[in-house]
């Protein structure tokens, strides 16, 4: 088990704080995103197949909504197994493939992209390393530009992947300039938010030091946030946190809840909010503690802890802000538990596992 | 909390045991499946969008592989939220929509199908109630034919949904007769298997009475099984069981493992097996207990408990057998914990939650 030394968790926290700068760095590459969007349009490659693992796959959950809401293209988290292991011979014509990998070295993502390109897809690598194997295999490369990420658990790469997906989707919809400007404002909002949020989260996290399991719920755009917050808690705090859509919670797992099983609800102002509010009412009936975060956190009646956030200039950008309380919570909870979030036991930064 | 009376769990166990008969009942409707497959082909509606919650959504994870491996069509678990809550105006031409609902009354699945049909999809309801609202809204209805299901946690509806998806996929590939025959053999295998498996599982389940959290891993075809086994444990045993692909486990959550955090590995003979074997080795290094089930369970080195299964006549059918040890385990573990799996606290059979 990693033990906490004087600097334990310093990289993880620093990288959370670097997110506004990392986001601005990505936006400098706007012209490249515009070019790739035009190429996808020119080829009528409007079925978007996203592949990645861990945080990259969580970001892909957001991509479904970014492409669905902006150019109204269908995007999916594609099965890597069908193409790489089962060698199915999927018809990739009319598809844009987005290979998502921080390092650009995830073996089965690289192999998927190689095969998809041969089979007629327009292949694009989104990676921090534009000279990586993934970048070489793909026809086009979009830099995530998050800068060096030292903590094993991704933070700024996750938010920059969200930004990359929505910027690409914005250009595909002919609204790139509007999305770019709104992302700039989100960077400013993030910067203003971080100091006070860090203080508020730390005082809540201490109360969770003995929690062994949690649910994190969200719906629609914020399902990606629920997945990513749950993954941070698992990776850095050894808390068994499971992400669920608000509706799926009510379809079964609500039966597992009791007063020792808290639920974190991600609540943003959009048309899916009533589903999150209703599911939270079921949680409260079961006697479980509720943490509510997001720009509609105040809508969750009877929440035990509330972490409100500002509204972004475009509703589709809410997840770039919504994930931050969860990242800070994981950082604070790991410290409260004496764990080192920079180097969780058993993990390395580049996962070469199949 | 539901307390266990003399008959507590009797319906849940009986319905697990009814699965061979339920499966045979479904196969009597073969001609209807063939007709729907032909209609999808005739309309070139070869992008398959599946929608459902809970066990139905888990079955959809299997549908991705059934359609990918047989007719080589791309199938996805579509976002209900984009269409129902965000009212995006998705282009549904060229899509077959499969609405999956045991009761046929899940509100947002009904609404999704209504809108998809208006927008040009070929809509098909798969439900136990062929006179339900879902059946009325869709153009075509395929009966799940599982018969009355009284236990809140679905079992025979889940396996019949798998069978329905693979039979439809088989007909779409022009291999319906071969899949039908193989499904008949699976019913026979299931029947032969149940008595001894029930005994073997019961003796293992007792050792898990104090387990608060688990991971259930699988990959490819068996990811659906991992999801469904985890859901049964959550619903009926109040065990925080999280499903993960074998590869995603290695990308982060492995950090949460210790000797009190067991992992259930679903292992079947197919090209994705090496990923499950490698992930299990990581689990063993972390000191966690391993339960291995499936027709390749013996390939998981150092498993503490092994539940082997027979090979189905077609590899794509393995998940119909693989889920059964998990269902029986949930039944036995709920009894060991004094919980009533027929009526988990806070759940009702028809979930009308949004």
- Look at residue B78 in the predicted model and tell me its pLDDT: 98
Residue A70: list chain B partners with CB under 8 A: none
Q: Do B74 and A88 touch (CB under 8 A)?
A: no
CATH 3.40.640.10 fits A193-337, yes or no: no
Q: What is the pLDDT of residue A1?
A: 37
Q: Which residues of B touch A252 (CB under 8 A)?
A: 54-55, 153, 231, 234-235, 344, 347
Give B230-234's long-range contacts (Cβ < 8 A, gap of 24+): B231/A252, B231/A253, B231/B54, B231/B55, B231/B58, B231/B153, B232/B153, B232/B155, B232/B326, B232/B327, B232/B329, B232/B330, B233/B326, B233/B329, B233/B330, B233/B333, B234/A252, B234/A253, B234/A255, B234/A256
Instruction: Find, in chain B, the residue whose alpha carbon is nearest to that of A64.
Output: B79
The reported pLDDT for the residue numbered B2 is 41
Chain B residue with Cα closest to A89: B72
- A115: number of Cβ within 10 Å: 20
Q: Which CATH superfamily is domain B191-336 in?
A: Glucose-6-phosphate isomerase like protein; domain 1 (3.40.50.10490)
Nearest CA in chain A to B63: A79
Task: Tell me the shortest Cα–Cα distance from B181 to chain A, in angstroms.
Answer: 23
Is CATH 3.90.1150.10 what the domain over B10-185 is classified as, yes or no? Answer: no
Q: State whether residue A6 sits within 8 Å of chain B by CB.
A: no
Of B53, B248, B278, the CB nearest to A248: B53
pTM confidence score? 0.95
Burial class of residue B41 in the structure, from the number of CB atoms within 10 Å of its CB (0-12 exposed, 13-18 middle, 19+ buried): middle
| Residue A110 CA to its chain's centroid (Å) | 20
Residue of A nearest to B272 (CA): A85
B20 touches chain A (CB under 8 A): no
For range A146-172, the mean pLDDT = 95
Question: Which residue bears the tokens 């650009």?
Answer: A104
Token code pair at residue B68: 């990918």
Q: Which helix (H) or strand (E) holds A123?
A: strand A122-127
Tens-place pLDDT, residues A48-70: 999 999 999 999 999 999 999 99
B329 touches A at CB < 8 Å: no
Q: In Å, how far is A22's CA from the nearest CA of chain B?
A: 23
Residues 6 or more apart whose Cβ sits within 8 Å of residue A301: A277, A280, A281, A284
Q: Kindly give, in sequence order, each residue whose CB lies less than 8 Å from that of residue B112, ignoring residues fewer than 6 positions away.
A: B51, B78, B80, B83, B84, B97, B99
Residues in chain B with CB shorter than 8 Å from the CB of A256 are 234-235, 238-240
| Chain A residues 106-165 with a CB less than 8 Å from chain B | 108, 153
What residues does each domain of chain A span? 10-185, 193-337
Q: Give residue-wise pLDDT tens across range A308-352.
A: 999 999 999 999 999 999 999 999 999 999 999 888 877 776 666
Do the domains B10-185 and B191-336 sit in the same CATH topology, yes or no?
yes
Q: Which of residues 24-83 of B touch A (CB under 8 A)?
A: 47, 53-55, 57, 64-65, 68-69, 72, 74, 76, 79, 81-82
Of all residues in chain A, the one with the smallest CA distance to B211 is: A212
Q: How many CB pairs under 8 A join A and B?
A: 197
A185 contact B CB<8A: no
A248 touching B (Cβ < 8 Å): yes
pLDDT at B353: 61
- Which residues in chain A touch residue B345, judged by CB atoms under 8 angstroms apart? 255, 286
Strand, helix or coil for residue A198: helix
Q: What is the pLDDT of residue B258?
A: 80
pLDDT band for A143, please (50, 70, 90 cuts): very high
B86 contact residues in A (CB cutoff 8 A) = 65, 68-69, 220, 270-272
C-alpha separations of B80 from A60, A272, B316 in Å: 16, 10, 27
User: Cβ contact (<8 Å) for B240 and A240?
Assistant: yes
Give the closest of B54, B255, B270 to A238, CB-based. Answer: B255
Query: Pairing state of beta strands B305-308 and B290-294?
Result: parallel
Q: Would you place residue A251 in the very low, low, confident or very high pLDDT band (cuts 50, 70, 90)?
A: confident
- Mean of the pLDDT values across residues A258-267? 89
Nearest to A346 among B238, B274, B282 (CB): B282
Three-state helix/strand/coil letters over chain B: CCCCCCCCCHHHHHHHHCHHHHHHHHHCCHHHHHHHHHHHHHCCCCEEEEECCCHHHHHHHHHHHHHHHCCCCEEEECCHHHHHCCCCCCCCCCEEEEEECCCCCCHHHHHHHHHHHHCCCEEEEEECCCCCHHHHHCCEEEECCCCCCCCCCCCHHHHHHHHHHHHHHHHHCCCHHHHHHHHHHHHHHHHHHHHHHHHHHHHHHHHHCCCCEEEEEECHHHHHHHHHHHHHHHHHHCCEEEEEEHHHHHCCHHHHCCCCCCEEEECCCCCCHHHHHHHHHHHHHCCCCEEEEECCHHHCCCCCEEEECCCCCCHHHHHHHHHHHHHHHHHHHHHHCCCCCCCCCCCCCCCCCC
Nearest to B346 among A65, A286, A351 (CB): A286
Nearest residue of B to residue A272 by CA position? B85
Contact B17, B194 (CB under 8 A): yes
Average pLDDT, chain A: 93
| Average pLDDT of the segment spanning A226-249 | 91
- Chain A nearest-CA residue for B73: A90
Q: What is the pLDDT of residues A288-313, one digit of tens each?
A: 999 999 999 999 999 999 999 999 99
Angle, helix A10-17 to helix A19-27, in steps of 10 degrees: 50
Picking from A54, A213, A270, the nearest residue to B248 by CB comes out as: A54
Q: For chain B, which ranges sit under pLDDT 50? A: 1-4
Residues of A in contact with B351 (CB under 8 A): 250-251
Does residue A254 belong to the interface with chain B, where contact is any CB pair within 8 Å? yes
Q: Are B328 and B320 in contact (CB under 8 A)?
A: no
Q: Supply the pLDDT for residue B252.
A: 79
- Name the token pair of B311: 């090979």
pLDDT digit string (tens) for A6-26? Answer: 567 889 999 999 999 999 999
Give residues with Cβ within 8 angstroms of A263, minimum separation 6. Answer: A214, A215, A216, A217, A249, A257, A280, A283, A288, A289, A290, A291
Instruction: Give me the phi and psi of B214, to 5 degrees please.
Output: -145, 160
């Amino acid at each position: 088990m990693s033990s906490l030394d004087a600097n334990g968790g310093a990289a993880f926290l620093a990288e959370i704080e670097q997110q506004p700068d990392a986001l601005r760095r990505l936006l400098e590459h706007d012209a490249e995103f515009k070019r790739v969007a035009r190429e996808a349009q020119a080829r009528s490659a409007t079925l978007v197949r996203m592949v990645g693992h861990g945080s990259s796959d969580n970001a892909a959950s957001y991509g479904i909504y970014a492409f669905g809401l902006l150019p109204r293209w269908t995007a999916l988290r594609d099965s890597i197994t069908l193409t790489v292991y089962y060698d199915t011979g999927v018809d990739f014509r009319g598809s844009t493939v987005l290979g998502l990998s921080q390092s650009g070295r995830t073996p089965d993502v690289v192999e998927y992209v190689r095969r998809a390109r041969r089979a007629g897809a327009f292949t694009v690598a989104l990676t921090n390393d534009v000279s990586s194997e993934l970048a070489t295999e793909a026809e086009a490369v979009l830099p995530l530009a998050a800068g060096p990420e030292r903590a094993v658990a991704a933070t700024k790469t996750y938010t920059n992947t969200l930004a990359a997906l929505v910027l690409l989707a914005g250009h595909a919809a002919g609204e790139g300039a509007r999305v770019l400007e709104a992302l700039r404002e989100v960077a400013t909002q993030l910067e203003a938010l971080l100091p006070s949020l860090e203080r508020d989260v730390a005082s809540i996290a201490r109360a969770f030091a003995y929690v062994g399991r949690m649910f994190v719920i969200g719906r629609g755009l914020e399902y990606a946030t629920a997945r990513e917050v749950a993954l941070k808690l698992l990776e850095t705090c050894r808390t068994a946190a499971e992400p669920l859509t608000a509706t799926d919670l009510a379809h079964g797992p609500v039966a597992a809840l009791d007063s020792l099983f808290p639920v974190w609800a991600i609540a943003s102002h959009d048309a899916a909010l009533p589903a999150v509010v209703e599911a939270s009412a079921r949680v409260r009936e079961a006697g479980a503690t509720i943490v509510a975060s997001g720009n509609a956190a105040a809508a969750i009646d009877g929440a035990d802890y509330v972490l409100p956030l500002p509204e972004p200039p475009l509703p589709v950008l809410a997840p770039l802000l919504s994930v931050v309380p969860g990242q800070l919570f994981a950082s604070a909870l790991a410290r409260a538990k004496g764990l080192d979030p920079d180097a969780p036991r058993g993990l390395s930064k580049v996962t070469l596992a199949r």
